[in-house]
Structure 1
């Protein structure tokens, strides 16, 4: 009984501790989710060529983010010129952890436009989320951000279109590009100076990727203007895309865009798979033919036969011609003539037929001259 009474308070204490821990953990997670994504920097000022550590929290778990240093920007105002105002070549990608946080070093580079500058962090895929942190780039020019009039209101008056065509480089995987052309009118009571539009590109079921683009000019109340904004996709992009136009948080127009497949890349890989093996095969055969040993049997005999056949006419031409007639003078000591058995000594094969006589059976056969 005493043991049971002792175990009871311990169990209740453990249960209360777990409930308390769970109760405190849930509000903390809810608070971090309510705050949204945030970004902090290890230092507020750095020069070009240095680096700064970027830390983030409150992001989606396992989300792919892109970090850029952008000019003409400020927290709450966004990047005025879009990614064209950022040092894109020195950007870094980072993936958040299971708790939605990350930490990564970012090289400091001067953006193509003057400061104020920020470290702009945004999601690459999935639901759009972004956050900015102020960074002063030492030695870089500073220019005030143009004020945006609040009384103007734009409306699309005519149908939008995409001008341009794909060239031979696009057929080989170059980024497809078009010009988004549309006409807007200011239906508000105040002029709009240098309005900033958001152009989004979406493919399939993915959410659009928005990019801020600023148009230089002023639209007076009751006036209209034709606006042209460049649109560019990634390298090798193909399929059906949707280009969206947003201003003041409202989507004004959408335009479909069908991008053909870069068949030049496919043709290149096919030729590469055919030409390279053929070249390797020819090189291998040449190496084998050079390395293999020469046969001394059949191959050498055939060559000697051909050489002897070529020498036969020369040998024949050099042999002395044999005469069918015996010399008319007396035989010398160095020259001997052998007569055939059935010819007499005073006849030869070149004599007339009447002068030839066959030896009789009783006549002995003589050799040489008598």
Structure 2
């Protein structure tokens, strides 16, 4: 029994010794690891480093192939974040890193003193895509330390639901008018005091460019522990198209982001196509009219004026034939005669038909002969024997 008692006592001592040595066997980086529930994690190779040295920053749980920025910031804790934003960080000594396919990374970061006193952290945040960040405590040797300001006990807003864009584009947007939507989200007051007429900031970013922020004030009062649905207008510039990201910020912190795909204004393209077709056609027509006006015309014939003619069934009228002849036009008859048909009879109310007068160039008439003579008689010949010859004095 004594042997069994000694064995039991020895096993108990070994168990107690193992429990005492367990904290010493844990890795030294465990104290510098910050892991959010279901979020990214950051670890440092050493919790303390001096200016001019370096630490190795590694992380897991990030999105795959995401660009991250590593900064040493003052006036910051993992629970309260970085007070003052990146103005409290050593931006000139920051480093960028891209996560691998599993969302992990490892990067050597030089230690530099931030522009504000410690407590200090290594701040890791995403550069593109949805916002994500994590902090790990770092003691910068030789840098001054100052207590953080007391936490604000007033109201604090938090987004309780996913944001969404509502609305649609009209006909004018198809022709280049500014696209507009409404950003809808639900916020709750997690503070201890009411919030009246909060001012949000709505920004829109295209591609990798930074968002342009505009102030949007919501009219209303939100009591502690209450929630409300907020609608804020969002408008892009005229002719905007492509992939945009709409961001919501309150009190210097980004609360939500929403993608927005804007269609191309095809009406503007159609307008320019029509303009390129109509303008050249109009200029061509104007040019042809000017050329036709300034081109000299050929006079190939004379103007012939006919006389009055009266016939059965119509009254006398003046017929004037004037036609310029040219290589592309056929001459028109200078005079049209309207003769009564054989056997036709004039009405009682119509004047009797008169003998038509032939034009002067008719070959069957001689100027000066009485009407009705179609040829000269042989008696008018100068060689007629019946014509006496007058002789002069001898």
**TM-score, scaled relative to structure 1:** 0.43
The structure with more radius of gyration: 2
Q: Which has the higher contact order (CA 8 A, sep 6+)?
A: 1
Greater helix content? 1
**TM-score, scaled relative to structure 2:** 0.41
